[in-house]
Amino acid sequence: MTHPREVDAVIVGAGFAGMYQLHRLRELGFTTRVFEAGDGVGGTWYWNRYPGARCDVESMSYSYSFSPELEQDWEWTEKYPAQPEILRYAEHVADRFDLGRDITFETRVTSAAYDEGRERWLVTTDTGETVDTQFLIMATGCLSASKLPEVPGLDRFQGQTFHTAHWPRGGVDFTGQRVAVIGTGSSGVQSIPIIASQAAELTVFQRTPAFSLAARNRPLEQSEIDQMKARYRDWRAAQRASGFGVPIEPATKSALEVSEAERTAKYQGAWDGGTLTAIIGGYTDILADREANETAAEFVRQKIRERVTDPQVAETLSPRSYPIGTKRPCLDTNYYETYNQPHVHLVDLRKTPLVGLTETGVATSEDSYDLDAVVFATGFDAMTGALTAIDIRGRGAVALKEKWSEGPRSYLGLCVTGFPNLFTITGPSSPSVLSNMIVSIEQHVEWVSDALAHLRQNGLGTIEATAEAEDGWVAHVEEVGNATLYPQADSWYMGSNVPGKPRVFMAYIGGVGPYRELCTEIAENGYRGFALTPALTPA
Ligand code: FAD
Ligand code: N01
């Protein structure tokens, strides 16, 4: 099939954001092309096929709400769905809405340049194609630019290496092998128990321990599926109005104003339910006050001590260097129990730093470990990495990368001054990664679609955030972030997992509900903070 070289909109990425954006723009009659580096849809769930990969938002909430028929037809099987099931869901959506015909797969967008005279973007791909478009919508993902550790010898190792975000499609069988996992964030926590069940020896190299809660995952009962389907509309409304995109009882008390017994009972309830937001959102000040935070942190550390038999190993696995919630907490299945097995070893890189890879394995400052395979669960250049990997140039040929050299700057995490008609779905400085991301994706996609329709209906050609609005938003995001404990952690939220990246809190913690209201109100008030210009009349 030949695709047009001139379109109304180009979308980069065919994960949940790009797929819905395509569907929405098609409904509005905009000619649209999507470019996707992978050979299928699904984004995160296409790439992260590592053993144990699973969502930690409940399946019936981590799903599109835009089509009530889709909601009713699709049957989730587990409370927390595994990667293959979520990928099947994405593929079902693509088939159902016939999305594939406008998606060019196995094609990476490498550059995009704004032509000020024509008020259009020229988008170039690694297959040599250039497409001319009025609107450019980046649906490139907050967690899609994977990263390896900055250590020497990565290409010297003679065994096999894997990154969790580029897992081979057919899976990997580690039976009988000596395997290392480097990294103990969410991907490490999920994959380590399963890799341990196959490997002859598993050595985990940990720099910073995670706070993890037992997921208590289970198959869904037909009755609970039916009940949710009966009340889906109300549930979706509650998701949209909530703080994290997951409805929970709003906290009304400080953790410090209740008795220890009351607090422990509350944390135990969250623990029994296997729900992350219930523990970090249980009191008003868990994410704002170090002493309040410590009560929840210590509760989880106590659980780690109960789950790990060797007290020294339990202590090494117990986070003490950052408040709970300020690095993404995890939900696990048998993570801590895995360390009770004799063939599983934990290396504390804080005590014996990683020196690098050798021909035969991994070297630390104290030891060398002979290995057959190394798994890098070392995460992503989050939030900005996928955007700055593309040479995006706005007015005056200024590069986005240059503009963001001191940290991302935008209005609402949606638009960037100097880059007219460019939109970033779940961009930095929006709630994005601090939420059930499908809720945030849908909100951004709908806002962008409405904006494009508004321009067209009113004979307008461009929309661009004013410098004043952008400055105000950057200051607001920083102020709200600084009122929390997030800046106290070295985390990917702060950019501190990437050497040289500016230390800036890259998400908006004002809450999904209030943020949505603000975006809607701005649009209803003539797109306050945006400059809208009349469409150029054809010469
Ligand atoms: P992505 O799914 O990342 O899709 C972006 C797509 O853009 C990718 O397919 C990529 O190939 C493509 N792309 C990027 N750059 C280019 C380019 N230059 N040219 C062409 N294509 C490009 N969120 C939750 O809310 N709950 C969870 O439990 C949860 N679990 C997660 C588990 C893992 C392992 C990871 C990595 C993330 C998880 N997330 C979770 C976050 C998850 O990324 C989002 O929920 C959601 O899937 C993001 O969708 P997206 O379309 O915005 O981005
Ligand atoms: O990546 P991470 P991830 N030497 O950055 C370590 C989502 N997600 O892929 O903390 C040694 O969290 C690093 O150590 P440190 C979720 O949003 C969700 O696990 O920087 N170690 C850390 O331990 C998540 O937050 C699920 O000190 C090095 C680990 O590698 C996000 O994706 C599942 C190192 C990286 O952890 C990213 O998760 C999976 C080095 N040089 C992902 N460099 C769910 O369950 C890095 N590390 C929902």
Quick: pLDDT tens for 349-384.
999 999 999 999 999 999 999 999 999 999 999 999
Instruction: Say what the pLDDT of residue 279 is.
Output: 86
Q: Which protein residue's CA is at the shortest distance from atom 37 of ligand 2? A: 379
Name residue 385's amino acid.
G
The answer to which of 243-257, 371-385, 408-422, 435-449 has the lowest mean pLDDT is 243-257
Instruction: Say what the pLDDT of residue 1 is.
Output: 67
Q: Which protein residue's CA is at the shortest distance from atom 2 of ligand 1? A: 43
Residues 288-316: pLDDT tens digits? 999 999 999 999 999 999 999 999 999 99
280 vs 255: CA distance, rounded Å: 11
Q: Contact 69/40 with Cβ under 8 angstroms?
A: no
Residues 461-484: pLDDT tens digits? 999 999 999 999 999 999 999 999
The answer to which of 132-136, 193-197, 250-254 has the lowest mean pLDDT is 250-254
Instruction: Say what the pLDDT of residue 538 is.
Output: 63
In which band, very low, low, confident or very high, does the pLDDT at 278 lie, cut at 50, 70 and 90? confident
Q: Give the Å distance between the CA of 440 and the centre of ligand 1.
A: 13
Residues 76-115: pLDDT tens digits? 999 999 999 999 999 999 999 999 999 999 999 999 999 9
Q: Give the Å distance between the CA of 36 and the centre of ligand 1.
A: 12
- Give the number of whichever ligand sits closest to the CA of residue 437: 1
Ligand 2 atom nearest to 376, measured from its CA: 30
Kindly report the number of other CB atoms within 10 A of residue 370's CB atom: 14
pLDDT above 70 (res 520): yes
In which band, very low, low, confident or very high, does the pLDDT at 453 lie, cut at 50, 70 and 90? very high
H/E stretch holding 81: none
- Give the number of whichever ligand sits closest to the CA of residue 14: 1
Instruction: Say what the pLDDT of residue 275 is.
Output: 79
Instruction: Say what the pLDDT of residue 31 is.
Output: 98
Q: Is the CB of 377 under 6 A from ligand 2?
A: yes
Which of 381, 459, 455 has its CA nearest to residue 415?
A: 455
Q: Contact 235/228 with Cβ under 8 angstroms?
A: yes
In which band, very low, low, confident or very high, does the pLDDT at 164 lie, cut at 50, 70 and 90? very high
Which of 334, 333, 336 has its CA nearest to residue 319?
A: 336
Tokens found for residue 381: 């250049």
190 vs 80: CA distance, rounded Å: 12
475 vs 18: CA distance, rounded Å: 29
pLDDT above 60 (res 52): yes
Kindly report the number of other CB atoms within 10 A of residue 473's CB atom: 23
Q: Which protein residue's CA is at the shortest distance from atom 5 of ligand 2? A: 379
For the chain, helix (H) and strand (E) counts, in that order, are 17, 20
How many CA atoms does the CB half-sphere of 6 hold within 13 Å?
A: 2
89 vs 97: CA distance, rounded Å: 12
Q: Say what percent of the chain tops pLDDT 90.
A: 96
Read off the pTM: 0.98
282 vs 377, higher pLDDT: 377
Kindly report the number of other CB atoms within 10 A of residue 514's CB atom: 13
pLDDT above 80 (res 211): yes
Structural domains of the chain ordered from first start: 6-145+382-534 (3.50.50.60), 160-376 (no CATH)
Instruction: Say what the pLDDT of residue 539 is.
Output: 56
pLDDT above 60 (res 536): yes
488 vs 485: CA distance, rounded Å: 6
Which of 296, 298, 329 has its CA nearest to residue 434?
A: 329
462 vs 14: CA distance, rounded Å: 25
347 vs 1, higher pLDDT: 347
Once rounded to an integer, what is the mean pLDDT over residues 405-429?
98
Ligand 2 atom nearest to 48, measured from its CA: 39
Q: Contact 442/66 with Cβ under 8 angstroms?
A: yes
Mutate-to-test residue for ligand 1 from 144, 392, 400, highest number of ligand atoms within 8 A of CB: 144
For residue 441, the SS3 value is helix
Instruction: Say what the pLDDT of residue 9 is.
Output: 98
Strands 160-163 and 32-35: unpaired
Q: Please state, rounded to an integer, the average pLDDT across all residues of the chain.
A: 97
What burial class does residue 38 get, using C-beta atoms within 10 Å of its C-beta: 0-12 exposed, 13-18 middle, 19+ buried? middle
Q: Contact 324/519 with Cβ under 8 angstroms?
A: no
Residues 57-78: pLDDT tens digits? 999 999 999 999 999 999 999 9
